[in-house]
Homo-oligomer: A and B are copies of this chain.
C-alpha cells in the first residue's frame, strides 16, 4: 500500500463522511468460541459512482465491491490484516471516526492473544463499546449473548 499523506487525508475525509468502521459478533458453531468476530471498514456511495469506487479500490489495493439492491454500492475491507494496515495509515487524519479506528485496532490486537473463553468474553465486552461510538440502537449479539452461549456450551468455568 503506497498511499501518500494526501491520499490518506482524502480517504479519511471520505470515510468520516460516508463510511463505517464496525465489528459484529456472528453466531457460528464451527468457531471455537461459537461466535465469529466479523470486522469491517466500509465506504458507501450511490451505485452510479461505481467507477469512482473501483478507482478507490485500486488506490487502496484491498477489499472488494458489493452492489446492494437499494442502489447503494459498498466498498468493503473485511480482512484483519488489510484493516490494520489501512487504519494505521489513515487514523491520524480521521476527525470523526478516530475512536472507532483505535477501538478496532485494539480489538484486533486483543483477538490475536485469546487463549480462553474468558478472554473471548472480555473481547465481546470491548466489542460492545462500538454500540455507543456508532450510535447503533440495537446489536443482535453482544457480551450477554456470548456469555449465555459459552455457559450453555460449558466452555466457561463459572
**Contact residues of A with B, CB < 8 Å?**
5-7, 9-19, 43-46, 48-49, 52, 55-56, 93, 95-96, 135
A146 to B113, CA, bound (A): 68
Residue among B17, B49, B135 making CB contact with A13, cutoff 8 Å: B17
- Report B-chain residues with C-beta under 8 Å of the C-beta of A48: 135
Q: How many copies does the complex hold?
A: 2
Given A16-B14, A17-B17, A18-B17, CB of A52 within 8 Å of CB of B9:
no
- Report B-chain residues with C-beta under 8 Å of the C-beta of A13: 9-17
- Report B-chain residues with C-beta under 8 Å of the C-beta of A135: 46, 48
Residue among B5, B45, B55, B93 making CB contact with A17, cutoff 8 Å: B45
Q: 7 additional contacts, CB 8 Å, given A10-B12, A48-B135?
A: A10-B95, A11-B13, A12-B13, A13-B13, A14-B14, A15-B17, A16-B52
Report the minimal beta-carbon distance from A97 to chain B, rounded to whole angstroms.
Answer: 10
